[in-house]
Amino acid sequence: MSFQFADRKSTAAGAPGFTRGSTSAVLARGYKPRASGEPKARPLTWRRWLFSTALAAALALGGPACSRKQTSATTENAVETVKVTRRQFSASVTAIGAVKPQVGAEVKVGSRISGRVMRLHANIKDQVHKGQMIAELEKADLEAIVAQCRAEARFAEAKLASLDELFPKEVARAETDVARWDATVILARKDLERQQDLLQRKFASQVDFDQAQERLAVSEAQLAATRRDLDLMRVQYAENLKQSEAERDRDRAALANAQVQLSYAGITAPISGVIGSVSTQEGETVAAGLNAPTFVTIIDLARLQVEAYVDEVDIGKIKVGQQVVFTVDAFPADDFAGKVVAIYPKATIQDNVVKYVVAVEIVTPYEGRLRPEMTTSVSIQLESRQVLAIPSSAVQREGGKHFVFLSVNGRPELREVRLGWKFGPWAEVAGGLTEGQEIFLDLPETEKEKK
């Protein structure tokens, strides 16, 4: 009978293996010899050991994974619900705007006449006051025209004064002639009556009677002529007076116009403010046409406002008198207060978006800090009120309408709602739900599968 002995030790791969060894060493480790004819034991190779180890690890990890899969499948069907409650909404509308001068606070000062600039008394950043001289044009020709018009006006006044002095005397002389001939007619008429009486009593001849008739006829004709002359003189006096007064008024108007033209040679500040820009220099010749050439631009920095560009979606919420808070990039840590004073009716298009300009009066003292065209971040404060509110994430939109899934005995029921304001993650419920009802934040998975 022969025996096989094996000595077990670790191989380089770490798997158990067998090598031949001494009999004493095998017996010392507790191995028994097998009898002849007994089945030979299959040696444990490193491949079998590696497979067994991997199978055990897979079984260890597979159990928890299956358990987690079943748990997640159960929780997927549980969807959170919320109640319709009342919340305090203090909504605001945000917009981008710019600091602008108020109407009349920015004026482009130009010239109404042509000429060469003799003096320019202003420079950029200079403080000017209303009526202060800014520039002067050449005015020698204008002064000559003023002198000519003044002389013509004096001549017209002298002519009118002469007329006022001479014509009344002529009229008075004509009136005296009329009175004299009127008396002559009266005397001739009495003489004729006397000659007629004498002729009837045979105390006068026919010749004397005829001569008396002739004297009366001549006197009456002379009286009529002097009366016509008097009337004509009065009419002529009135016409000459009107003409002379018209000439005087015309010359006075020409003088006033020449003086106005002369005043245009001196350009003054129409408002008080700061010189923002200078467009014309000394020595340049300006030509006045349909558009007056601009010399300087004056800005009153004490009369600024903010023009906020509000989206058409939010313009319906804006009302005159609402409080406003805005910031500028130059002073990001400072908040400026204001209030809405106007909403411009005409829209502006910015990047294909319709927006409306909202004028904001600046309440916070800002002199020396705010300047025109500064970019502003505007927040218009709307009124605060208690409203029914739901999370915006629970609202579904389809076909221009809004829907939520109302919880009815734990089951979802589609319900149309009307929404109002939005405040952060919340939306106002204007209709369709009542306080205390519960809605699903999302449709359960089982309902999604049915849909």
Which pLDDT does position 417 carry in this prediction?
Answer: 93
Distance CA 440, CA 81 (A): 4
Q: Select the more confidently predicted residue: 229 or 323.
A: 323
Predicted confidence band of residue 159 (pLDDT cuts 50, 70, 90) = confident
- Any domain includes 433: yes
Partners of 370 in the β-ladder: none
Count, in order, helices (H) and strands (E) of the chain.
Answer: 5, 22
Domain containing 410: what range?
81-88+387-450
Give the ranges where 77-205 is alpha helix by DSSP (H).
140-200
Q: Does 409 lie in the same domain as 371? A: no
Whether 128 and 193 map to the same domain: the answer is no
Could you tell me if residue 2 is inside a domain?
no
Is there a single domain that holds both residue 180 and residue 251?
Answer: yes
Taking the C-alpha atoms of residue 69 and residue 48, their distance in angstroms, rounded to an integer, is 32
- Cα distance between residue 318 and residue 195, in whole Å: 110
pLDDT at 263 over 80: yes
Residues 159 and 177 in one domain: yes
Judged on CB neighbours under 10 Å (0-12, 13-18, 19+), 270 is: middle
Q: What is the DSSP letter of 270?
A: S
Is the domain of 278 the same as that of 369? no
The domain that holds 284 is classified in CATH as 2.40.50.100
Q: In angstroms, rounded to a whole number, what is the distance separating the alpha carbons of residues 448 and 451?
A: 5
- 359 within a domain of the structure (yes/no): yes
Task: Output the CA torsion 26→27→29→33 (10° steps).
Answer: 80
Beta partners for residue 399, in sequence order:
none
Residues 228, 258 share a domain: yes
Residues 148 and 244 in one domain: yes
Name the amino acid, one letter, at 11.
T
Lowest mean pLDDT among 242-251, 280-289, 329-338: 280-289
Please check whether residue 404 lies inside any domain of the structure: yes
Lowest mean pLDDT among 74-78, 139-143, 303-307: 74-78
Q: Decide: helix, strand or coil at residue 9.
A: strand
Same domain, 177 and 240: yes
Bridge partners, residue 411, by sequence:
408
> Is 373 part of any domain?
yes
- 270 and 125 part of one domain: yes
User: What are phi and psi for residue 15, nearest 5 degrees?
Assistant: -90, 150
Residue 1 lies in a domain: no
Rg (CA), the chain: 59
> Which residues pair with residue 418 across a beta bridge?
431
**Confidence category of residue 424, pLDDT binned at 50, 70, 90:** confident
In degrees and rounded to multiples of 5, residue 182 shows phi and psi of: -65, -40
List, for residues 190-234, the tens digit of each pLDDT value: 888 888 888 888 787 888 888 888 888 988 898 888 888 888 888
Q: State the first-to-last Cα distance of the chain, in angstroms, to the nearest integer.
A: 81
According to DSSP, residue 126 is labeled -
What six digits make up the tokens of 127?
Answer: 């403080």
pLDDT tens string 181-198: 888 888 888 888 888 888
Per the CB < 8 A criterion, the answer to whether 361 and 339 are in contact is: yes
Cβ 371 vs Cβ 305: under 8 Å? no
Q: Is residue 57 part of a domain?
A: yes
Helix, strand, coil percentages for the chain (3-state, nearest 5): 35, 35, 30
Q: Based on the domain organization, do 215 and 363 belong to the same domain?
A: no
| 416 compared with 283, residue with greater pLDDT | 416
Same domain, 414 and 360: no
pLDDT category of residue 52 using cuts at 50, 70 and 90: low
**Size of the chain, expressed as the number of residues it contains:** 451
Looking at residue 344, what is its pLDDT? 95
What three-state secondary structure class fits 3? coil
d(CA 434, CA 443): 20
pLDDT for position 345: 94
Number of domains in the chain: 5
Per-residue model confidence as pLDDT tens digits over 54-88: 545 444 444 444 344 444 444 445 568 899 999 88
**One domain for residues 183 and 231:** yes
> Which domain-ending residue is among 213, 241, 263?
263
Q: What is the mean pLDDT of residues 129-157?
A: 91
- Measured at the CA of 414, the angle between CA 409 and CA 417, to 5 degrees, comes to 115
Cα–Cα dist 278/122, whole Å: 8
